[in-house]
Chain A
Amino acid sequence: NAGVTQTPKFQVLKTGQSMTLQCAQDMNHEYMSWYRQDPGMGLRLIHYSVGAGITDQGEVPNGYNVSRSTTEDFPLRLLSAAPSQTSVYFCASSYSRDSETQYFGPGTRLLVL
């Protein structure tokens, strides 16, 4: 198993550009989520999904969209990038409601100029 994979590893955007951060897992996990990590602020939940076709907002959802058309994939879309979205983004997944252990992807480092 590849586990949780994320692409790209690093991205530079200009203010106003849009892009999609990809996340995929091959462990048949029901639950997937996106976090952003900023210095001194830990990890903050952006959006999460409890299964295909179901998504919900976390702590900091503004400026981001998600969809979950398949169990495996959970892309995060930045609609109009802003410098405040410069961060490291982590995708995570867990097996089911009875298994809280989250497996994190390697992260995507995003710089918005």
Chain B
Amino acid sequence: GENVEQHPSTLSVQEGDSAVIKCTYSDSASNYFPWYKQELGKRPQLIIDIRSNVGEKKDQRIAVTLNKTAKHFSLHITETQPEDSAVYFCAAGMEYGNKLVFGAGTILRVKS
């Protein structure tokens, strides 16, 4: 089955700096890669996603890149703000979104 590894497990950055979180997946059949943000005590919420037919996708300060050959994808947050502090999860899946495999999560702390 699919296995997703996520690094780093914790990341501290200064406000205004960039943050990068990386994930690798094992199943080359996976074709959908979402990123979720989870604030303390809250539910996970989708922030950006990418399909395997696209190499990069951007939404304001957030971007995701995908390297199908190497089977890894990354989340890039630019100009970080204190409200970006949260746990971020990557996931990989195929067919239907309900069968996602999640990474273990990255705790992002943005220091002001």
Q: Are A and B subunits of one complex?
A: yes
Encoded as 1 (CB less than 8 Å from any A CB) or 0, chain B from 23 to 50 comes to: 0000000001010000000111110010
Does B102 touch A at the CB level, under 8 Å?
Answer: yes
A54 to B100, CA, bound (A): 18
- Interface pair A48/B105, CB less than 8 Å apart: no
Main secondary structure of the interface of A (DSSP, over half): strand
- Chain B residues with Cβ under 8 A from A41's Cβ? 104
Interface size for A (C-beta < 8 A) is 27
- Interface pair B101/A59, CB less than 8 Å apart: yes
- Chain A residues with Cβ under 8 A from B1's Cβ? 59
Q: Which of B95, B100, B105 has the most CB of A within 10 A?
A: B100
| Interface residues in chain B, defined as those with a beta carbon under 8 Å from any beta carbon in chain A | 1, 4, 6, 9, 32, 34, 42-46, 49, 89, 91, 93, 95-105
